[in-house]
Structures are given as C-alpha cells and as structure tokens.
Amino acid sequence: MPARGIIGIAFALIAVLATLSVATRRFTALTTDTARMLDVAQHPVPLTPLSLLDTRGHVHQLTDHQRSTIVDVIYTRCATVCSELGGVFQQLQSTIRKQGLSPRVRLLSISFDPSWDTPERLGRYAALLRVDGNIWTLTAPRDTASLTPFLHTLGIRVIPDGQNGYIHNAALHVIDAAGRLVAILPADAGDEAIDVALRHAPTQTTSLRAVRLTAVPR
C-alpha cells in the first residue's frame, strides 16, 4: 500500500479514536447509557415539572417534596423488559415496607403509552403487580407533549416495533425532593437505588414539641 494511503488510514483511525474517547468520557464509559449515568451522578439534572394521572384518575406530580422517588418508565402491554422492571419494583416495594422506608422513599412507574394506558388499564396492571398505593404509584402523563422531552432527559429511547409494541431501554431513575435527577442505575440495581434514594431524601427533623419535651427538667 502506498505511504500516502497508510497515512490516510492512520489519520482516520486517530479521528475515530478521538470521537470514541469523547463519547465515552475518555473510555471510562463504554456505552451511551453508561456515559449518561456518569454524567447524572456527577451533575444532577433539574427536571421540568410533570403532571401525571394515576389508576383512579387522580393527579400526581413527578416530584415529592417530602421523599426521594425511584422511577421506572414502562408500558403495560410490554411482556419483556417491563415485566422485569415490575419484578424489580415488587422487590423494592417489599424492602421499603419491611424496613419502614415509605416516609423517605417512594416508587413511581410512568407509562410512555398514555393513549393505551388509561387509568382503568393502569389499575388492572397495578392489581396484577399487587401494588401498595402507599409506596408505589402507577401513572401516565396528562399532557403527551411533555413526554418526549421527559424521556430525552432520562435517556429513555422508545422505538415502535411495527407490531403495536415498542423497543426501549430500561433503567432505575432516582429523583430527589428538589426535583433533580440524581442517579440513573441499571434496571437490576434495586438495592443501590434505595441507598441512593435514602442519601438524597430529606432528613427527618425532630418536631418542636419533641424538643420542648426533652428540654423540660425532670
């Protein structure tokens, strides 16, 4: 091969490696999802308010100012990834209940298929998963226009599969009480999600009455 051709290939290889290095944060992230996880962990992302409807048609907000929130994004017709996420959330619900963590951590499932996932269908899905409403809420966005930017912020990609379903990635997202996305974790990292949620949950303050009682001489 002529020297000029070899030099051209070398420069092309250098350009590819440079691009890959930037895309993977100097090779510390091997995939786009991993790079996104690292970015969010280092720089929490403020989220735009999102209004949601639950299984009874009641309105909920994305952020709970009293608790951290662990979020997954699903659609109820999904028989693969979403079923796995449902199992993870069932385990998280059990852990939260057993450890009495519900005052500090909640679970929130959000459907990206609100035209199908009406409150009634979400209700049937919740019954199937034995959802405890004090811990876990199934919802769909009230305003579909807000859905696309929300999914983009979370790094969720949804592609129609041509068979009335979707191909999508999955993760556990932790949102703090200030409405910031503070962590994106693998879908099977339930224990880590709870740890992160607790670290970012508001601290439980002693009530004024309790302070007064402890200050009373005995």
pLDDT in tens, 116-172: 999 999 999 999 999 999 999 999 999 889 999 999 999 999 999 888 899 999 999
Our measurement of the distance from residue 90's CA atom to the centroid of its chain's CA atoms, rounded to an integer in Å, reads 15
**Would 37 be classed as within a structural domain?**
no
pLDDT score of 1 = 56
pLDDT score of 57 = 95
Element (H, E) at 175: strand 172-175
Q: CB-based contacts of 37: which residues, under 8 Å, 6+ apart? A: 29, 171, 183, 184, 185
The DSSP symbol for 173 reads E
pLDDT score of 124 = 97
Nearest to 187 by CA among 94, 103, 69, 92: 92
Q: CB-based contacts of 101: which residues, under 8 Å, 6+ apart? A: 95, 194, 198
Our measurement of the distance from residue 210's CA atom to the centroid of its chain's CA atoms, rounded to an integer in Å, reads 36
**Would 216 be classed as within a structural domain?**
no
The total of structural domains in the chain comes to 2
Verify that 72 and 154 share a domain, yes or no.
yes
**Would 89 be classed as within a structural domain?**
yes
**Would 208 be classed as within a structural domain?**
no
Verify that 68 and 97 share a domain, yes or no.
yes
Q: CB-based contacts of 58: which residues, under 8 Å, 6+ apart? A: none
Q: What is the pTM of this model?
A: 0.79
> Token digits for 111?
């459907």
Q: Which residues of the chain register pLDDT less than 50?
A: 8-30, 205-218
In Å, how far are 3, 17, 28 from 13, measured between CA atoms?
A: 15, 6, 19
Rounded to 5°, the CA angle 178-66-153 comes to 35
**Would 39 be classed as within a structural domain?**
no
**Would 14 be classed as within a structural domain?**
yes
In Å, how far are 29, 98, 174, 193 from 200, measured between CA atoms?
A: 24, 20, 9, 11
Verify that 98 and 18 share a domain, yes or no.
no
The DSSP symbol for 115 reads T
Verify that 80 and 178 share a domain, yes or no.
yes
pLDDT score of 11 = 45
Verify that 9 and 55 share a domain, yes or no.
no
27 sits in the region (left: phi over 0; alpha: psi -120 to 50; else beta) called: left
> Token digits for 71?
């979020």
**Would 11 be classed as within a structural domain?**
yes
Residue 83 carries which side chain, given as an amino acid letter?
S
Verify that 96 and 149 share a domain, yes or no.
yes
Verify that 67 and 16 share a domain, yes or no.
no
Verify that 22 and 62 share a domain, yes or no.
no
pLDDT score of 164 = 85
The residue range of the domain holding 179 is: 44-200
**Would 38 be classed as within a structural domain?**
no
Verify that 125 and 173 share a domain, yes or no.
yes
Verify that 186 and 107 share a domain, yes or no.
yes
Supply the CATH number for residue 125's domain.
3.40.30.10
Verify that 50 and 22 share a domain, yes or no.
no
Verify that 86 and 176 share a domain, yes or no.
yes
